[in-house]
Amino acid sequence: MADIENKIKEVAGQAQDVAKDAVSDVKAEAQQFKADAKGYAQSAFEDVKSEGKEVVEELKAAVKGQTLDSASTVGGAGYRAAEEKPNGITIASVVIGALSILFPVFWGLGGVLGGAIAAVLGAKARKENQTKLATIGLILGAVGFVFGVIRFIF
C-alpha cells in the first residue's frame, strides 16, 4: 500500500513538473507573440505616418481648391481638364475618416467602425467621380480603421 502511495506521489510530482514547463512555454510564446504584434503595429504606424504627411498636403490643397499636380491639359496647351465637384458622399467620407483619426473618443471600436464607414464611402465616391477628395476620404478611413484596430488590440 505504501508503494502505491509513493508511486502516486512520484507521478503527481512529475505531472506538476510537466505542467510548470508547459505554463512556462506558453508564457514565453505569449511574450514573443506580443513583441511580434507590437513590432507589426509599430511598422504599420510608421507606414501610416509617412503616408499621412502626403495625405495632409493633398487635403490642404483640396480644401483650397488646388491640386498638387501641375495643370493638366487636354488636346493641347491652354485647355484645362474639367474639375469635378465633390458630392455629399465624398465629404462624408473625409469628415468621418478624419474624426476616426483625430478624436480619441473614436479610437478603439469607434475608430474601427468609423474608419470602415469612411473607407467604404470613399471607395463608392471614387467609383462615381474619381475626385482626389474621394481618395483622401478612402485613405483617411483606412488610417482610422488601422488606428482603431491598433487601439482596440492594445
pLDDT tens for each residue of the chain, 154 residues long: 778 888 888 888 888 888 888 888 888 887 887 777 777 767 777 776 777 777 777 777 777 765 545 444 444 444 444 456 767 888 888 888 888 887 755 566 777 888 888 889 888 888 887 788 888 888 988 888 888 888 777 7
- Residue 135: give the domain boundaries: 40-153
Task: Identify whether 9 is part of a domain.
Answer: no
Q: Identify whether 33 is part of a domain.
A: no
Compute φ and ψ for 80, nearest 5 degrees: -90, 145
Q: 19 in a domain, yes or no?
A: no
CA dist., res. 151 & res. 141, Å (int): 15
Half-sphere exposure of 81 (CA within 13 A, CB side): 11
pTM listed for this prediction: 0.45
